Amino acid sequence: MSDSHKKLFTKIAGLLTEARKNIVSSINQVIVLTYFRVGELIVQDEQAGKERASYGKSVLKELSKGLTEEFGKGFSVDNLERMRKFYLTYKNRMVDNQKSASVLRNFNPSNSASLMRKFELPLKLSWTHYTKLLRIDNEEERSFYEIEAVNCNWSVRELERQFNSSLYERLVLSRDKQAIKKLSEKGQIISNPIDTIKDPYVLDFLGLEEQNKYSETDLETAIINKLEQFLMELGKGFLFVGRQQRITVEDEHFHIDLVFYNRFLQSFVLIDLKIGKLRHQDLGQMQMYVNYYDEFVRSEEENMTVGIVLCKQKNETLVRITLPKGNQQIFASKYQTFLPGKEQLKELIENKD
C-alpha cells in the first residue's frame, strides 16, 4: 500500500472506529433507558397491587415467562428484579434532572435516537456496568465507582477489578472527611500529590503471591512486564518514564527503580521498591532522589517532584518522625500481592480518626 493510500486508509479507519463507538454508545443508552422504564412500570404496578407481599414472586415469575417466550433471554426473574432495583436506585436523579425527565416523558424505542441526540442523560454507562454497581449498597461508594467508570472509560472488567481491589476503601483510608465526601461527589480529583496515594497498593496482577521468595529486581521486572496494569493501579494521569534511572552525585552513582510523570500534577513521580520492612534510611534516600530531580531535572514550569517508597511493611510512627512536618512530597505506602479483604478495610475506615 502506497503512502497516500495508507493516509486514506487511516482516515477511513478512524471514521469507522468512531462511528462504531457512537453506535455502541447509543445502543447502550437505549437499553439502559428501556430497562429503567421497565423497572418503573413494575414498581408502579406493584404499588397499585393490594397483596404487595406476594407480588414480587408471583407476578415477576409470570412476567418473566411471558417476556422470555416473546423476546428470548434477558428477562429472568432476577434480571427483572434488577430493573426494578435500578429504577428505585436512580429514579431521583432521573426525575430531578429536567432534561432526563423530559426524555422519560417522551421516550419510546421509535424516537430514542433523536432524543439521545437532543439530551445528554445522567446515566452514561452500559446496563452491564449498572448491574455491577447495583451490588454496592453504600450510596457514596457506588457513586464513586460510577463517576470513575465514566471519567476513566472503565470496561466492565476493569470496574469489577477496581471494586474487588477495594479502590474506594484504600483511597478513603488516606483522606480526611472533607476529601472523602468529594470522592462520592466528583470521583478522584488529582490536584495535590496526596490525591494520588493509595495505601495499600494492590499488585495481585503480578502473579508474585505464589512465589515463596522474590527479590526487588523480580518485583521491578514483574511490574515492567505488567506495566499497563500497574499504570491503572497507580491511577489517573501517570506516564512511564523509565526504570533504573541513573543519577550521579559527584563520583557516586545511584539508580532510581521507577520514574513516572503525572500530567495532572505536572511533576515527576519517583518510586523505590522495598520487599521488606521500611527503614528510615529508605525515606532519606528517597528525599535525596527527590531533591536531585528538583534541582537538576525538573523545569521551572513543572511542580515539585513526588517520591513514593513502596514497601512490604510500614511503621507509621517511623514515617511520621522521619519526614518533616508539612511534608507534601515524600510518601511511604504498603503494597500487597493479593486482593485485600473488604471487611477488614471497612473496619479500619470505621476506626479511622
At residue 153, the pLDDT reads 87
At residue 217, the pLDDT reads 93
Q: Is the pLDDT of residue 48 over 60?
A: yes
Model confidence pLDDT, tens digit, residues 58-110:
788 888 888 888 888 888 989 989 989 999 999 887 766 555 555 565 556 55
**Under 8 Å CB-to-CB from 149, ≥6 apart: which residues?**
125, 129, 133, 158, 159
Domains of the chain: 3-131 (no CATH), 195-350 (3.40.1350.10)
What is the pLDDT confidence band of residue 191, given thresholds at 50, 70 and 90?
confident
At residue 97, the pLDDT reads 59
At residue 67, the pLDDT reads 85
At residue 234, the pLDDT reads 94
Question: Quick one: cell of 102?
Answer: 423530559
At residue 120, the pLDDT reads 59
pTM beyond 0.85, yes or no? no
At residue 40, the pLDDT reads 85
Mean pLDDT, the chain, whole residue set: 83
At residue 33, the pLDDT reads 83
Tell me which range, 5-19, 32-46, 116-130, 293-307, is most confidently predicted by mean pLDDT.
293-307
Higher pLDDT, 347 or 195: 195
Higher pLDDT, 344 or 172: 172
Mean pLDDT lowest among 30-44, 104-118, 139-153, 237-251: 104-118
Nearest-Å Rg of the Cα atoms of the chain is 25
Q: What share of the chain has pLDDT > 90, as a percent?
A: 45
Phi-psi region of 207 (alpha: psi -120 to 50; beta: other; left: phi over 0): left
Give dist(CA 59, CA 49) in Å, integer.
10
Beta bridge partners of residue 309, listed in sequence order: 272, 332
Mean pLDDT lowest among 19-33, 129-143, 294-308: 19-33
Q: Is the pLDDT of residue 177 over 70?
A: yes
Model confidence pLDDT, tens digit, residues 221-275:
999 999 999 999 999 999 999 999 999 998 899 999 999 999 999 999 999 999 9
At residue 335, the pLDDT reads 93
What is the pLDDT confidence band of residue 42, given thresholds at 50, 70 and 90?
confident
Higher pLDDT, 293 or 346: 293
